[in-house]
Structure 1
């Protein structure tokens, strides 16, 4: 009997030793495999993943430590080894796959704040849903299923409840410490060779590895208070700005509209750009006759967009608020993350001047949280896709011509002057879908068949956008109601993976954005803008201008009073016309990667003003008697479009009920 008990105890100890051995083995091997697998997925190339591993063994180890912490946390929660391996693999590989697609499409990796883009993530599905892309997705899911099935057939290799609690809490503490850059965690990362490259996130992820770069970005989700920001500093800035706004007009006595308030229409055309700028290709006809004519006849130029291939709302944010994305974390989305209170904007400015401020966008109102943000910006109304009645579609989206019709209808049916901020959708990517029955403009050049089809589809879209602009011009020229139109694109189009069309034509020399020259970086972010008015305005050609300076610039061109902060924008734009996170253009059009010393104080004041408005305590408004800095929400916000409910489903239900009752319904 004793011998039997002894054998059982011995067997039990052996089992415990085996379990401990396998758990330790998994803790050593699984993170290493996950790091290599994640880097292989994100880079899309086995050779590049191997080269990074061999050249950066310490960074590889640092990524493995972080993956180990994630694995231990999931292990503590799951309570069994194989399910924890399966869940950790699914999490990290999915993150790497998303980063791979984002880098391919728009040159940006996966950021911590992307997790909060819930419905907006649907927007990327058409871009990745093809057979070649479904293979890695299927492989990852298949491996997950295999591990889950094996977990039912193999020993659980679980941890005791007390051990799980200790391991889980330690893992949470360590992950938190690395995420917020605690002193001890910072020392560990420094010794392992981590070098954060905030201004170039594709290079940041490429050099440091996805897990480490992602973790270093966690702290960037919280925008740090600028050095010296407090009430006394803002009081001092307020003193400098007082009296400055009223003189920031094109001329001290300029009144081109003879006391009449003009309609002001901003149209941000989806992915609008000039493809005739591509070298080594020819077009059978000019796709942009209206824009090219306006570039010769009226104020026009190029806007330096903070985005490429996507992120439309960030361009809206810059134009409407006068703020710069350069002071916010790379890849962040203010509409989703920061704008949760009443914010000074062009919409509120015009509303306060007696205008009706309206936003028109031919897509769902929830997208990028517009239906809430526009309210906080002071718009009176927002007409989204849900409020278009039987619109014409071109491809998958409402046509640009339909948006032009809507703008005309709104202006003609409104007795007071209007500020309209219109956003189109027709020419949204991808462009490999052959969305039109035919592409009348033929393109010649040394391009692959796929690249030519992509470019021809895109070109048909911008030709339609150009025609919609001409339609607006013709209408307001005929009505003679004083009107100003500002027409521009939000960003360059994503023409294939890895900037395919741009590299094939020689517009840029490499698909690696981290290796672009400053000139290439500038041209990959420069979109054309043109203006038109049925009243003579000063004419000027602008080689480059930041989106954040456009509002102030146009108010000056129209001879309108500039609020204090926009007056400062206008003044700064004459010293530094444009700025991205990693590109600054000075008044002499010199390009630098960082703000020159001569402009540092001016840019820092710009940062302080933005922080005070967006994150701070609005000290500036306290020391300035400015209605612009003390905005309010329109009391009747969107009342005209919410009579039947806020969603398309509610509209349809109410319409059906009204028709049944014999009522005449109009939207």
Structure 2
């Protein structure tokens, strides 16, 4: 046998004899065993221990074998494409291992596994690299390296075991047919899924991956990345929605009648979304030597405490931006999707285009790379006139690895001072981005105490210093407008709670939540983990006060209402919805009586369904609404001079 292999290796590739039947059977058996081994390895990587893998397999044998089948199809695909057995196995092992590793750390960091659409994140994915430390990471990475290196060495020793070109084509077709059938859930694949007892839980992907396994849950999510037309969508449905919205405004359908502008000089409207901003004094049993958020607490005492319900935890900033700026809800999109990356590639009505249509200059400021979350392109499609990203800051102040929040406030002030028109500015900070287990500030201003580990104290200490600086940056803005007596309306909030250690460690140590498993949280705990501080400041009369709770998708509608500007389009529908249902997430709703539920209340279901249809029409459908209401806003194109600098109208620098 050894002499036969040596003889085969000496022959030119074109003269190699085809694989015999016995060799084909042996290779199939090897691939089958490799699929089982890789499936076990993937589950070990994603679940954290073999004990958990064994427990899952004992209750889900059929589902385990479906995962192994998908892994087998991938091995066949790699074998057909590469044409050499062991390199194909090494490639498949590398792909599956890296995907599993990403899913493991992504779940521990922000409670979400690895999705098919995460592949589109490209450079954004590298943001997780500094967080992948510790023995768990090193052991997993070491295993991946050993397995791949071992297979490569075996290839050198044993040869190619190459099928014919026709055989390779057959392998590719069979494998592709199998993978596509499960991804798009063909009749025969659905039959197997039902027989195995597979239940997709798209509203709770952590549980979905836990019950169904990494390979199967990942594959089934491919279909979820495709947006299907909702039942009832059509021009007649949008006609009906438009008629109801027009009627609610007293029949005023023109742009002039849609807007009841504030009297006097138009105020500057400034939204500041502060990175991971939250109130650390809410942690039970933790004491602080001084109030880290004096400005926030003063505004809360003056105007009433309010929180914004966010769809994210620990990351996914752009999804919160998407909700605030567009008035759309990620609750109607596939769980874990990233609209900035997946869905926005043409003009989309937003607060930026709305204010532009009302005589404002709409500007965006973010103290990080413009390519991140595809903002360079998305802000153009949203109708912003200019976007100042990290590369446009000149000799900025840094705190830690990122531009200081105070520098963002100074940038906002400069834009206000040099503009002859009122400005709408959407600013996103970066200073207090995690992780917080570093010593970025050295000596901090506030001492903390409580019954927790030293590591937890250090994490809270670093985070709290950043939160204090964010509070001070808000005070800088307020002080400027008070001194200049320049009319302004400021909205300040966080995008999500900070990721304070793996598996919600600090939150659990302090008793803020009881479990690291999101499916075990009560509705109150879920609310707490999705609520960030929301404050406003203004020196002009307002026509609405902040509700106690409001979802990020409704924030734009509220701001327009407070300013006395009649909302249109999706913002008009939101203005109808949020008074009765101020909180709307995928798995949590809060009604006007502060009643929590995991589903949409019956009394709000009709309006929520209108919301879903309208969002589909404007994002994916035929955009019927643009021809029925305020065309200047809804049908507005991207500005031709987006981010172009000239002497007449200086753009962001």
TM range (shorter): over 0.9
1:41 to 38, 42, 45: 45
Q: Deviations over 1:425-479 (max 9, x none)?
A: 0000011111012122111111111111011000000000000000110010000
Return the alpha-carbon distance in structure 2 between the equivalents of residues 539 and 444 of structure 1. Answer: 39
* Match among 84, 87, 92 for residue 83 of structure 1: 87
CA distance in 2, matches of 1:635, 1:558: 29
Aligned position for 1:118: 122
1:603 aligns with one of 608, 614, 617? 608
The aligned residue for residue 275 of structure 1 is 280
- 2:109 is matched with which residue: 105, 111, 130? 105
**Which residue number corresponds to residue 52 of structure 1?**
56
1:389 Cα shift? 0.6
1:544-623 alignment, distance < 5 Å: 544-623=549-628
Where do 1:441-590 residues align within 5 Å?
441-537=446-542, 540-590=545-595
Provide the secondary structure at the position in 2 that maps to 1:613.
helix
Contact 1:295 1:530 in 2 (8 A): yes
Indicate if the aligned counterparts of 2:103 and 2:114 stay in contact, CA closer than 8 A: yes
Q: Residue 143 and residue 227 in structure 1: after superposition, are their counterparts in 2 closer, same or farther (change >3 A)?
A: same
Note if contact 2:345-2:378 (Cα within 8 Å) is conserved in structure 1.
Answer: yes
Spell out, residue by residue over 1:3-24, the C-alpha distance to the aligned partner (whole angstroms, 9 max, x if none).
Answer: xxxxxxxxx9999465234213
Partner of 1:260: 265
Deviation at residue 536 of structure 1 after TM alignment: 3.9
Match status 1:160 vs 2:170? no
5 Å-filtered alignment, 1:315-394, equals: 315-394=320-399
Deviation at 1:370, TM superposition (A): 0.5
CA drift at 1:87: 1.1
Assess if the C-alpha contact under 8 Å between 2:242 and 2:625 holds in 1: yes
Cα distance 1:381–1:391, how it changes in 2: closer, same or farther (>3 A)? same
Other-structure match for 1:227: 231
Is 1:135 aligned with 2:139? yes
Aligned residue pairs total: 632
User: Secondary structure of 1:570's match?
Assistant: helix
Secondary structure, counterpart of 2:632 in structure 1: coil
8 Å contact kept, 2:19–2:162: no
Structure 2: how far apart are the matches of 1:245 and 1:214? 45
Please, which of 401, 408, 416 is the counterpart of residue 413 of structure 2? 408
Structure 2 CA distance, aligned partners of 1:601 and 1:420?
34
Q: CA deviation at 1:228?
A: 1.4
Query: With structure 1 as the length reference, what TM-score do the two structures score?
Result: 0.91
Give me the whole-angstrom Cα distance separating, in 2, the residues matched to 1:256 and 1:628: 16
* Counterpart-to-counterpart distance in 2, 1:27 and 1:147: 13
2:216 is the counterpart of 1:182: no
Q: Does 1:430 align with 2:435?
A: yes
Asked whether the equivalents of residues 274 and 492 of structure 2 are also in contact (C-alpha less than 8 Å), the reply is yes
Q: Return the match for 2:149 from 140, 145, 156.
A: 145
CA distance in 2, matches of 1:449, 1:49: 32
Deviations 1:211-248 (A, max 9, x none): 11011100011111110111122122222221434799
Secondary structure at the aligned position of 1:419 is classed as: strand
Shift, 1:510, TM fit: 0.4
Alpha-carbon contact 1:380-1:634 (below 8 Å) kept: yes
Which runs of 5 or more residues in structure 1 are unaligned?
Answer: 1-11, 647-665
Query: 1:113-152, CA deviations, whole angstroms, 9 ceiling, x for partnerless residues?
Result: 0011101112111111456523311320222011111111
Residues 413 and 154 of structure 1: is their aligned pair in 2 closer, same or farther, counting only changes over 3 Å? same
Change (3 A) 1:14 1:112: closer
Deviations 1:600-619 (A, max 9, x none): 21111000000000000101
Task: Tell me the TM-score normalized by structure 2.
Answer: 0.93
Alignment RMSD (CA, Å): 2.3
- Whether 1:171 and 2:151 are equivalent positions in the alignment is no
More deviation, 632-641/353-362: 632-641
Output the CA distance in 1 between the equivalents of 2:432 and 2:512. 21
Please say which of residues 151-160 and 437-446 is displaced more in the overlay. Answer: 151-160
Corresponding residue for residue 96 of structure 2: 92
Aligned-partner Cα distance in 2 for 1:445–1:275: 13
Partner residue in 2 for 1:284: 289
CA shift at 1:160, angstroms? Answer: 2.2
Contact 2:543 2:561 in 1 (8 A): no
> CA 1:161–1:466 in 2, change beyond 3 Å: closer, same or farther?
same
Alignment of 1:63-74 (within 5 A): 63-74=67-78
Change (3 A) 1:642 1:107: farther
